[in-house]
Chain A
Amino acid sequence: MEEYILSTSREIYGLYPHVHVWGFPISAYLFLGGLAAGILLFATIYYLNGKEDDMPFTVKIAPIFTFGLVMVGLVLLLYDLHHVLYSWQLFTTFRIESPMSWGAWTLIVVSIFSLLWPLSYIDDIEAYLHERGWKRLDGITKFIRNVEHKWLLPRFIILTFRKYRKVAAYLMLFSSIILGIYTGILLSAFNAHPLWNNSILGPLFLVSGISTGSAFVMWLSNNHKERALMSKIDIALIAVELFFIIHMIMGMQAGTEAYRQAAHLFLGGEYTVIFWVVFVGFGLVLPFILEALELKGFKVHPALPALLVLLGGLLFRIIMVNAGQISEFPI
């Protein structure tokens, strides 16, 4: 028998009985970041492919939401800081090796794009809304237009943005990919937690984020063609996700004791049921089947698979953040 135990009491908040300094706010922040990245990714890709008018919701409407998502994410991040009066220190340096620093700055950049992108489409958005008989938001569009007309600087910025939208699209594509990867890298950069410390987690979070983005469009778009396309894309993304998950766990199983213990959290350990049944079952496999059935012509409520994917994405991040903190090297 071997014992390796703490001999002195050390019941410190966040450390006892295992490290737990990141909770729901961080999980939600990662989810919102991934979702925003997914939405912007689709918007820019289809814009750059010239599908601006074929897929109006994807390119013009959906990005409206990203600014809100990113802002809520940022608020959650700041809320989670323990020395919050000093949070401005985040924006006094850029630390190239710190994922937290990357995240803070990326969010700022993305939030600027996600604000300007819809503003540059203000006429199209109004038309889109009128087409569907939505006049309640006219007040807002009018206000924005007034600002644009009265004030020189906003007008200049938006006009410039419109003029160089293609360049902006490339930059936005780039920053949204960084945001998507970052949400995974944030965790995988922490070597101290074997569950996070693998090279698949970054791509997995990116794919999961894009998947939630496609689900978001699928859910809210009224355009059948857009929905069908997103459904197809999502099926592929879910397949990739499943492949990554299997591969990640197999990789951990092939590792040292610490990694096998990390994998065990999902293979008989305390996260087994919630991971395989709730997340994989209801968050990946079920929407996969529903989307496939819909493509085959079966009648499925479009919101159902989309919501499952979105909730699954959130749950996945909650699981990874919590389980990862339990997973430690056996000191």
Chain B
Amino acid sequence: MQNSRRKFLKISTLGATGAALTYPVVAKGISFFKNEEPLSDDKLTKVATVCEVCFWNCAGWVYKDEDNKIKKIIGNDIDPHSNGKLCPRGTGGLGMYTDEDRLKHPLIRVEKDGEQTFVEATWEEALDLVVKNMKKIDKKYGKESLALFYHGKTGPHFKHLFQYWGSDTNAKPASAQCLITREAGYIATYGAGLASPEPTDIRNTECLVLIGSHIGENMHNGHVQDVSDLIDRGGDIITVDPRFSTVAAHSSHWLPIKPSTDMALLLAWIHVLINEDLYDKEYVEKYTHGFDELKEHVQKYTPEWAQSITTIPAGDIYKTARVMGNASPKVIIHPGRHTAWYGDDTQRTRAMAILNAILGSWGRKGGFYFAEKFKLPKHPHPPVPKPKWTWRDISQGKHKLAFAGITNEIIDHALPEYKGEHKVKGMFFVATNPLQAVPDEEKIKKALHHLEFVVAVDTMPSEITGYADVVLPEATFLERLDDIRVSQHKSPNIALRYPAVEPKYNTKPGWWIAREIGIRLGLNDFYPWENFEEVLDWQLKQVGSSMEEMKEVGVKHFPRTKPMYINEDGSHYFNTNTGKIELVSTDFQEWGYDPLPVYKSHGEVPAGYLRLIYGRLPMHTFGRTLNNPNLNDLKSEPKLWVNPKNARIYGLENDQEVWLKNPKGKVSSFSIKVRITERIRHDSVFLPHGFGNKGRIVTADGELFEMSRTYGRGISDAEMITNVSIDPETGGTGLRNNFVAILTEKPTKKEVIS
């Protein structure tokens, strides 16, 4: 008897005639249920939206059926951010609306039988309480002592409210970790920052260099699409990453660098480009200042020297530098995001900016184009009062290039040990959760305990909600109107977010909440309108458009007024002290910072520990999307990447549960499953960011608010990060000098969730 695979294939071939062998016996067609079949787009109506699931803010269309039920969200074809294609988070954006774990009504913290608890409140009660406390803080300490932390499109409503009232003590937690060091580095070099979306002309480039950028894992939509196009065109991609990232796999060159040594590689690249005459001589001549000093400066930074530091073979450093040089000026050292790493981040970004300068890519086709932003006039309002002090007084004394509030330092000013005059006594958190977004959880908790008043405005319960005195539930982006998106791009454009449906539960749009507080504070003159739609309509009419038009088109383009690329006659003026690209920064010289980037060691991984590398998953935007039913469906649980070598040392198996502990003795609240993979270096582990949620509120009536799908799943990297490396120029908070040990046994000393 033969039972090998041959038999199996024989059975298979029998099926070719399968369809013809059905013999109907009885007539069919009785149906018990009505199946929900997909609908043709003709049967759906669409409403213009701008996605709020991440900061890329793609424009799209919300499709609704006859019952006014949201069916899907699709990109707007004429939107330059998305080119008609949303990323998974945008497509799954409707889950932000449908999530049944949302904050459903205002909550107020009260004392009951000696215990603090939340009770459900009406909007009247909640807003009155907010205003009462704002006035109290004003009376005791001054308006400036009330700080605002914000993120996303709701932020401006509250930022304006605070400014109208008289406080300009604010920060975006994103800023100090994300863009501030990069923007500072570019401003010091080119006299201009990059902003968002970064004006990288990837569509025309021949060589893209990614150092600490993980396009494809960060779904920066437009750039992901651009890189895909570059792969199609057969261009070079050079990726520098200690982790075999998705884009590293798609690159022509992957340089697996030893973490924290990026500066050595950048300097060695500059060395090769200059010493082998691969740089753009004409461009350098025309537009730059300090080339000779730079040349002199990098002589000691040879690839051989860099090899000993970065563990990248010198040959590969030469090779990749030559690839860049040959592609010049159609080459981009991508500026990346989340650029605060090790505490010398403005300098590292400077090195990248310098590389771009000597390759002649700034203002060149295939390099960086000059993005243009449309000017939408502001709705008029009375003059804004001048606060006695602002975020500038907190940060700019220490960091010359802190051009936005530094969250960490504002929090420092709320600690009891702070004895200065700029005390922070109350905080508003609008669409941001500092316990996941800002490092050093213990410090934040301490600050929160000492604040007199805390308000959280958000759509979802999170850790910060549990610390608030008043919780104001906000409508999601699909239910509310926000400012017109005015974004920089090749073609200046504006986009409308219009509410697709009424706010669910007892939630309200951010503009309504801010206005109601404003009215209660007596700021009626700043809010002469009833509905925010009036403001937008006024703005649009000033530029020859209208709400009517924008609702029809979603996105509107305007003609450029300035050239997209640099003029080649050398007359381009850079907004720096010398009017040129400053390879040597004259500002830094003056302020006592290194005028040219130098390599500094950031130390080694302590014995018994592994470096904590954290990062993105393409289907999640940090912690905020983890509970989104659609996105949670894509990835519900993170895994800790461990190299097989470490797996052997620790005796780990795939999917084994482990805990983490950092050198300061901080132990993770929850466990995480192990993934043994070659994609991570032997001296590091990789932890996806944003998990390990532990926000949970129970009201006095027993109503539970938590992110039930994600509560307690995985380990929060923010919780393990206690070592913050401050960037001296900007105050940027570098989080990558953090280490963890893997615990295979459940730690006995369980950290109490306070």
Contact = CB atoms under 8 A, between A and B. Distances in A.
Contacts of B18: 97
A199 B14 contact: no
B3 A251 contact: yes
B2 A3 contact: no
Interface in A184-227: 189, 191, 197-200
A259 interface: yes
Which of A85, A191, A256 has the most C-beta atoms of chain B within 10 angstroms of its own C-beta? A191
Interface in B668-723: 675-678
A248 interface: yes
B25 A191 contact: no
Interface in B3-41: 3-5, 7-8, 11-12, 14-15, 18, 21-26, 28, 32
A9 B636 contact: yes
A297 B48 CA distance: 90
Nearest to B17: A97
A200 B634 contact: no
Contacts, number: 73
A91 B26 contact: yes
Given A3-B677, A95-B22, A199-B1, A191 B11 contact: yes
B9 to A, nearest CB: 9
A8 B635 contact: yes
Main secondary structure of the interface of B (DSSP, over half): mixed
B2 to A, nearest CB: 7
A251 B4 contact: yes
A197 B675 CA distance: 33
Nearest to A5: B675
Contacts of A197: 7-8, 11
B1 A247 contact: yes
A251 to B, nearest CB: 4
- Most A C-beta atoms less than 10 A away, residue of B3, B12, B15, B675: B3
A215 B127 CA distance: 81
A205 to B, nearest CB: 14
B14 A92 contact: no
A8 B644 CA distance: 22
Contact of B23 (A91, A94, A256): A94
Contacts of A23: none
B634 A91 contact: no
Given A89-B28, A199-B7, A96 B635 contact: no
A1 interface: yes
A92 B23 CA distance: 9
Contact of B3 (A93, A96, A200, A256): A200
A9 B11 contact: no
A151 B211 CA distance: 91
A248 B637 contact: no
A235 to B, nearest CB: 22
A252 B3 CA distance: 7
Given A197-B8, A255-B5, A97 B28 contact: no
Contacts of A95: 21-23
Contacts of B2: 199, 251
Interface string A1-22: 1010100110100000000000
Interface residues of B, number: 32
A9 B5 contact: no
Interface in B562-592: none
B11 A189 contact: yes
A231 to B, nearest CB: 27
B633 interface: yes
Contacts of B634: 8-9
A95 to B, nearest CB: 6
A189 B12 CA distance: 9
A86 interface: yes
Interface string B363-380: 000000000000000000
Nearest to A105: B25
Contacts of A254: 4
Contacts of A259: 4-5
A82 B433 CA distance: 44
B4 A255 contact: yes
B677 A92 contact: no
A198 B3 contact: yes
Nearest to B21: A96
A113 to B, nearest CB: 21
Contacts of A92: 24-26, 28
Interface in B594-649: 619, 632-637, 644
A152 to B, nearest CB: 28
A309 B647 CA distance: 47
B246 to A, nearest CB: 10
Given A9-B633, A9-B637, A93 B4 contact: no
Given A9-B633, A86-B32, A256 B5 contact: yes
Given A8-B634, A92-B28, A97 B21 contact: yes
A97 B28 CA distance: 20
Given A3-B677, A8-B634, A189-B11, A93 B1 contact: no
A85 B32 contact: yes
A216 to B, nearest CB: 28
Contacts of A8: 619, 633-635
Contacts of B24: 92-93
A203 to B, nearest CB: 8
Given A9-B637, A96-B21, A198 B7 contact: yes
Contact of A191 (B12, B23, B32, B675): B12
A1 B21 contact: no
Interface in A72-86: 85-86
Nearest to B4: A255
Contact of A94 (B8, B14, B25, B636): B25
Contacts of B28: 89, 92
A321 to B, nearest CB: 19
Interface in B64-120: none
Interface in A84-122: 85-86, 89, 91-97
Given A247-B1, A254-B4, A93 B25 contact: yes
A103 B7 CA distance: 22
A3 B655 CA distance: 13
Contacts of A96: 21, 23
Interface in B656-678: 675-678
A93 B7 contact: no
Top 7 nearest A-B pairs (CB, nearest first) are A198-B3, A251-B3, A92-B26, A9-B636, A199-B3, A96-B21, A8-B634
Interface of B: 1-5, 7-8, 11-12, 14-15, 18, 21-26, 28, 32, 619, 632-637, 644, 675-678
Interface of A: 1, 3, 5, 8-9, 11, 85-86, 89, 91-97, 189, 191, 197-200, 247-248, 251-252, 254-256, 259
6 contacts: A1-B678, A8-B633, A8-B634, A96-B21, A97-B14, A255-B5
